[in-house]
Structure 1
Amino acid sequence: MDDSNWYVRIKSLPRTRDGKFSPTLFERYQRNEKALLAYMLEMYISGVSTRKVSHIVEQLCGTSVSKSLLTAELDPMVKEWRDRSLSETDYPYIVTDVLYIKVREDNRVISKNCHIAIGINEYGYREIIGFLIQDGESGLTWSNFFEHLKNRDLKDTKLVISDSHKGLVSAIRESFTGVSWQRCQVHFMRNILSYVPKKDSKTLREAIKAIFHYTDIELARNAKNELIDKFSDNKRYEKACEILDDGFEDAFQYTVVAKGHSRLKSTNVIERLNQEVRRQEKVVRIFPNTESAIRLIGAVLMDIHEEWIGSNRRYIQF
C-alpha cells in the first residue's frame, strides 16, 4: 500500500475530541461550512441585522440561528484546530510569514500581525500547522509563535523557509537549534537587483538571475564567484555584489537540506495563502476585536487546510 495515500485517507477522516473516527453528517457539515459560519458572524459584527442573517441561514440550512449560537459553534472549532497536537506527523520543512491586519481596540484602530506557518510533511503534502495573532512583528513575537508550535509537539524540522526580517531570522536560530534557514530567493533577488542601476546593466542582471536557476549549490557558488570577480570592481555594482555574496549561502540551503526541491526555495506558497486570506478578510477591513479576527482568519485557514488534505496532491515529490 502507498504510504502517502494511506496518510491522506487517514488525515481526511473526521475525528472527535478523543480521537475516535466519527463520520457523521453533522460533523462533516461543520467542517465544510466553517468559512460560511465565519462570514455570518462577521455580518452581525458589521451591522447587518439579525433578521437578515437569520433569513440567509434559514434559506441555506432550513433553520434560523442567533449570533451567540454561531459563535458558540465556531469558536471551539477554531480553538481546537489551532491548538491541535502535531505529534502524529513529521514536518521536515516549514514555510512561515506574517499577515498584517487592523483591529479596533479601546476605540482605536491598531495594527496586529497574524503569524502563519505551513508544514510540508514527510510525504510531501502541505498543511497549515499554525497561526497566532499578536501585537507587532519582533523577535519576541516570532519566538512566541515558534514556542506555540513546539508546545504542540512539532518535531523533526530540518529547514525553515522565510524572508529575512531580522527578528524572524533571530527567532529561527534560537527556537530551532540545528535547523537550517532558507532565505526566500524571490525576496533576496529583488533586494540585490534594487542596488543595480537600470541603465547599461542588462548583462549583470541576467547573470544574477541565472544564478538562481541552479539547484546544485556548487554550480551556483561557482557562478556567483565568477560574477563577483567580473563585476565587483565596478563601483556601480559593488553594493549588489556585496549583498549577493553575504546572503548566498542562506539562499541556497534548500539545495543541501531539501534535495533541491525548487518549491522550497521561496515563500511563494504562503504568500498565495496570505492573498486568499486577505481576499476574504478585506470584506471586514477593520476587525471589531481580536476574537473576531481569530474567528474569521481561523475559519478561512481551516477551510483551506481541509481542501489541501482532501486534494491528494503532493506539494513536492520525494
Structure 2
Amino acid sequence: MAKRRTNLSEGKQNIIAALINEYDIKSAEDIQDALKDLLGGTVQSMLEAEMDNHLGYEPYERSENSNARNGRKSKTIRSKYGEMEIDVPQDRESSFEPQIVKKRQKDISQIEEKIIAMYAKGLSTRQISEQIEDIYGFEVSEGLVSDVTNKFLPEIEDWQQRPLSNVYPIVFIDAVHFSVRENNVVKKLAAYVILGINDEGHKEVISLQIGQNESSKYWLGVLNELKNRGVNDILILCADGLSGMKEAVNVAYPNTEYQRCIVHQVRNTLKYVADKDKKKFAADLKTIYQAPSETLAHNRMEEITEKWEKIYPNAMRSWSTNWDVISPIFKFSTDVRKIIYTTNAIESLNSTYRRLNRQRSVFPNDTALLKALYLATFEATKKWTMPLRNWGKVYGELSIMYEGRLK
C-alpha cells in the first residue's frame, strides 16, 4: 500500500490521530466542535496558570501571601468556533488581571476587525449581523455593528482636517453617486473624492466630500478648505465637467491649470451617437486627443464637427465650448499626458466605491455613507506603496513647465 504523503511532522500527526480518536470525528462539523472544546479548555488552563503566576503559588500549596484564590466566575466568550463558557478564577483582593481574556472582554475572535472589513465592502448593519451569526453561530446586534463603526467618526473628522502638503503637482476630483435616505425619502448624493499626486509621485486621498448641488460656490468652499489645510499651490487640477469647477479654480488657485478629463469628454460625446456609428466616431475623436500639437488637434476637431454635425448636431458642441480646459494637455509629453489624460489614477478607487453601490442600494443616512467610504478608502489605499511610473521624468518636465513652483 502506498504511503500517504504529508508535510506534517510526526508530532502533529500523532496529535491529529489522538484528536480523531478522542472525539470520534466523522465530519467537518465534528472537527469544529472538537476545536471549540479544545479552545475552551486551553483558555481555561491558561487562566489558571495566570492566576498561579499572579499569586506565586499553585493550588493547595502553603503560602504566606495574604491574597488567595476566591472561586471562579462564569463568563460567556465568543470565538471563531462559536460561543463557549469559561470559569475565570477570582482572588480575594480582586487584583488579578487576566491577559488571555481580559476583564470585560467577551470576544476573542477579533470580531470588530471582521465587522469593519464587512462594512468597508458595503454590507449593511443587518447583513453583517446575519453573516456573523451564519458563520460563527452567535448573535451580533445591529446596534453593536453601529457602535463598532461609530468609533471611526472622530478618526474620520481628524483625517478630514489633517494638514496637507504645501504643493500638489496634480490633483484629481471625481464623483460617484449613492442613494441615501433622508426623512424617509431616498435621494441621490454625490461622493466627491479628491486625490492628489504629491511631489514624490505617490497617490494620496486628500479628502472625501458628500454634496448635493454642484456650483461654483460649493467648489470654492471645497478648495478654500484645502487652502486652509496648507495646500498653497496645485499645478494641474483634473476633473470632469463639474458645474462651477472652472470658476472656483480661477478664484481659489488662479495659477492652476484646469484640465478637463478627456475620457469623460469622449463618453459624454458618444452619448449623442447611435450604436452603429460609435466605433467610427470614437476613432475620429482619438485623432483629436492624440494629436501632437494643439493646432493640429483643433483642426481635427473642426473637421470632425463638420463631418458629423448633420447627423449629430449636438455631439461636438462641448468640444469647442470647453476647448480652453481640454487643450492644456497638448503642451505636455506622452509621459505627462498619460497621467493627466484621464482620471485613471482615481478610477481604481472609484471601482471600490461602486462595489459599495452594488452591495448596498440605499444608505440610511449621510453618516453611514461617509463611514463606508472612509473604511473602503483605507482598505484600497493600503496597496499604494509605489510612485507613478516614470515620475522622475514627469517631475522634471513639470519643474520646467511651472518654474519655481515645485521644491
Aligned counterpart for 2:360 among listed residues 284, 294, 304: 284
What count of residue pairs does the alignment treat as equivalent? 278
Residues 223-242 of structure 1: pairs in structure 2 closer than 5 A = 223-225=297-299, 228=302, 232=306, 236=310
Are the structure 2 counterparts of residues 282 and 57 from structure 1 closer, same or farther at C-alpha, using a change threshold of 3 Å? farther
**Mapping of residues 114-263 of structure 1, within 5 Å:** 114-193=191-270, 206-214=283-291, 216=292, 219-225=293-299, 228=302, 232=306, 236=310, 243-256=318-331, 260-263=336-339
Structure 2 residue 349 is the aligned partner of structure 1 residue 273: yes
3-state SS, counterpart of residue 266 of structure 1: coil
| Separation in 2, partners of 1:111, 1:244 | 28
Q: Say whether 1:38 aligns with 2:115.
A: no
The amino acid across from 1:275 in the alignment is S
Give matches, 1:289-300, under 5 Å.
Answer: 289-300=365-376
Percent of aligned positions that are identical? 23
Conservation of the 8 A alpha-carbon contact between 1:81 and 1:302: no
TM-score (norm: length of structure 1): 0.71
Equivalent position amino acid for 2:158 in 1:
E
| Distance of 1:49 and 1:199 partners within structure 2 | 47
The Cα of 1:195 is off from its aligned counterpart by 5.6
Indicate if the aligned counterparts of 2:169 and 2:198 stay in contact, CA closer than 8 A: yes
Match of 1:8 in 2: none
Q: Which stretch shows the higher mean deviation, 75-84 or 119-128?
A: 75-84
Answer whether contact 1:94 1:157 (CA < 8 A) is retained: yes
Query: Is residue 251–residue 265 contact of structure 1 (8 Å, CA) maintained in 2?
Result: no
Give the counterpart letter for 2:164 in structure 1: L
Greater relative contact order (CA < 8 Å, ≥ 6 in sequence): 1
Q: Per the alignment, in what secondary structure is the counterpart of residue 122 of structure 1?
A: coil
Q: Secondary structure at the match of 1:133?
A: strand
How big is the shift at 1:44? 3.0
Question: Structure 2 length as normaliser, TM-score?
Answer: 0.57
Secondary structure of 1:158's counterpart equals: strand
Distance 2:121 2:308 in 1: 60
Between the aligned partners of 1:148 and 1:232, the Cα distance in structure 2 is: 44
What is the DSSP-based 3-state SS (H/G/I as helix, E as strand, rest coil) of the residue aligned with 1:169?
helix
CA distance in structure 1 between the aligned counterparts of 2:337 and 2:198, rounded to whole angstroms? 14
d(CA) in 2 for partners of 1:137, 1:57: 45
Is the Cα contact below 8 Å between 2:329 and 2:337 reproduced in 1? Answer: yes
Instruction: Please give the per-residue CA displacement for 1:171-230, whole angstroms capped at 9, x wherever unaligned.
Output: 33333222111011112234445566788898776443212113x4xx242243256268
Which residue matches 2:129? 48
Alpha-carbon spacing, 1:221–1:300, altered in 2? closer, same or farther (3 Å):
same
Shift of 1:295: 0.9
Look up the match of 1:26: none
Per-residue deviation at 1:85? 1.1
